Amino acid sequence: HAQVAAGTPKRNIQLSNIIEECSNGRRVSRLLELSPKKLEPLPVEEPKTPKRNSRAASTQPTSASKGTPKSANKMKLIRDGTIKPNIHSRDAPVQHDANELALARERLHVSATPSSLPCREKEYEEIYNFLEGKIFDGCGGCMYISGVPGTGKTATTTAVLRALKQLSEEEEIPKFEFVDINGMRLTEPRQAYVHIYRQLTGKTLAWEQAYNLLNKRFTTKAPRRITTVLLVDELDILCNKRQDVVYNLLNWPTMPTAQLVVVTIANTMDLPERLLMGKISSRLGLTRLTFQPYNFRQLQEIVMARLAGMSAFNSDAVQLVARKVAAVSGDARRALDICRRATELADDQAKKAHLSVTVSMMHVQQALTEMITSAKVKTIRSCSRMEQLFLQAVTAEVTRTGIEECNFLGVYSQFEALAAFSGVIVPNPGRAMAICARLAASRLLICECGRSDIYQKILLNISTDDVHFALQASKLL
């Protein structure tokens, strides 16, 4: 056993050396996925020299049976990409009761993306053609995809890439590498280099090094280079003042040596013209694709496609959700969330009545009121009487002066008058300021901080009609 143990690390050292030279990410991971099984019986032995210790440690992969490496070493291993991050898992998956409503809820979950997206066939086709052409030609290019949130931009693009990946594994199209970064997940635009380099090679470097290596990779010729597809989600977050990161990401595809295809996704249609410098928007090119918001038919189709073969939902209920959501934003995620909430409400009812219940219009209506109606009116209604009086004083002051912004002194004089009318003792200005601060903390008002006490500017954060409506209901007016 001991001989095996002594032998194994050595072999691994050599392997790791090779890996570093060829800098091919997938090979690293494949090799290291295998290695723990080999090394599992290895007993922890006392190494003789510190040099060997560090090497042995660096070649020891993660395995729960062995003692974890020391923290400094561990960090090094993580940065090298030898250890992959993983999370704790349950011993066994949670048992579901095979209720139809529960099943529907599972299918309606936003993260349960179907393999083929309904109502996005045309866009799918366009992205597919673009990417397939670029991969076949072995040249680089850019594409810009835009659309409001929840219109299936990322889902469609990743579906295309999944299909292409499958084809390339079946060797019908040339092999390609796929890297995706999301602007929202980066702490800083320059970290984009680090993430791209990590996905290509598995190593974590400082951004300067990563940038230099990437630049070298994309600008020098290599005979057997394969195409890299880079998906940049949330492009607008990557734009800083100098816009150097965006420039580099869009400049590399123009190099004949790079074979890089960049697909960028953002929300606004005119982002390249509005935010990006001329040299960047020209590099981004004119291959644009806009995802229109779903109309109610499409939303209905999406929900129905998820619920295919189930009778949990009333079709009128689905239509109501689709129409309500399409009128506001056309966001598929919102429609799915409302449907899920409706199934939860139906489930509650079913548990109470011990019956099987399908989701009906009533449940959907309830879910809609929960999720769409504003909380402000409710907040005003649950305010204390003095706070309501103060809000009323602010509206009175706004109507008196005709200007939306009023200052505390004016509001306080109105407040005094109102309090006198309704027969309450007028709180002193300090108390009134406390009331004002409370209302500002719940965002019913917008105030300055308390330091500029009686001269602070007050702005109503809700419409005066809302205040009137809410106060009428509480019988203050």
Partner 1 sequence: MDAFVKQIANTLPCRDGFVRQLYRYYRTGDPFPPALYIYGQSSTGKCAILREVFRQWPGEDEGLRCAHLNAISCYTNKILFETIARQLEGAKLSQSNNYSSDGKLEYAKDFLAALRQRLDSDRSYVIVLRNAERLRDMAHNLLPLFLQLPEATGLNISVVMVSSLPFEKFYTKTGLPPLLKLFVPEYTRAEMQRILMNDFAQHILGLTGYQPRQDKQWLFAVTEEFHRNYVTLFLGTFWKVCRDVKELRLVAAECFPPYCEPIRDGTIPAQDSVKLWRNITKTLRAALSTMYMRLGTKSVGKSVTPDGTTWLAQNLELPYYAKYLLIAAYLASNNAAKEDRRLFMKNHGKQRKRLQTVNARAKVVEKMTTKLGPKAFNIDRLLAIFYAILDEKVGLTCNLLAQISTLVHLKLLTYASSAEGGGGGSAMLDGSATRLQCTVGMDFIMQIGRMVGFNVRQYLTDFF
Residues that bind partner 1 (CB under 8 A): 429-430, 433-434, 436-438, 440-442, 447-451, 453
> Which residue's CB is nearer to partner 1, number 238 or number 411?
411
Comparison of 400 and 457: residue with beta carbon closer to partner 1: 457
**Kind plus residue range of the DSSP H or E element containing 306:** helix 296-306
C-beta of 376 vs 438, nearer to partner 1: 438
Q: Least distance from C-beta 465 to partner 1, angstroms?
A: 25
Say if CB 359 and CB 342 are below 8 A apart.
yes
**What is the nearest approach in angstroms of partner 1 to the Cβ of residue 397?**
20
Residues 6+ apart with CB under 8 A from 392: 418, 467, 471, 476, 477
What residues contact residue 397 under an 8 Å CB cut-off, 6+ apart?
A: 406, 410, 411, 414
| Cβ proximity to partner 1, 416 vs 453, nearer residue | 453
H or E segment and range at residue 249: helix 244-251
Q: Please, which residues have CB within 8 angstroms of residue 405's CB and are 6 or more apart in sequence?
A: 457, 458, 459
Nearest approach, Cβ of residue 70 and partner 1 (Å): 21
Question: By C-beta, is 440 or 471 nearer to partner 1?
Answer: 440
Closest distance of CB 145 from partner 1, Å: 38
Q: Which is nearer to partner 1, 336 or 458 (CB)?
A: 458
By beta-carbon proximity to partner 1, the closer residue of 114 and 450 is 450
Strand, coil or helix: 114: coil
Residue 291 CB partners (closer than 8 Å, separation 6+): 120, 123, 145, 146, 147, 148, 151, 152, 153, 156
Nearer to partner 1, 254 or 461 (CB): 461
Going by C-beta distance under 8 Å and a sequence separation of 6 or more, which residues neighbour residue 425? 419
Between CA 224 and CA 202 the distance in angstroms is: 20
Closest CB 429 distance from partner 1, rounded Å: 8
Determine the 3-state secondary structure of 166 from DSSP: helix
Burial class of residue 139, CB neighbours in 10 A (0-12, 13-18, 19+): middle
Q: What is the rounded distance in angstroms from the CA atom of residue 218 to the CA atom of residue 54?
A: 34
* Shortest Å, Cβ 446 to partner 1: 8
Distances (CA, A) of 78 to 69, 72, 74, 178, 345: 11, 10, 6, 22, 45
**Least separation, in Å, of the C-beta of 451 and partner 1?**
6
User: CB of residue 450 vs partner 1: minimum separation in angstroms?
Assistant: 3
Of 118 and 429, which CB lies nearer to partner 1 in the complex structure? Answer: 429
- Rounded to a whole number of angstroms, the minimum distance from the CB of residue 77 to partner 1 is 27
Three-state DSSP at 65 gives coil
Residue type, 146: S
- Residues facing 196 on adjacent strands: none
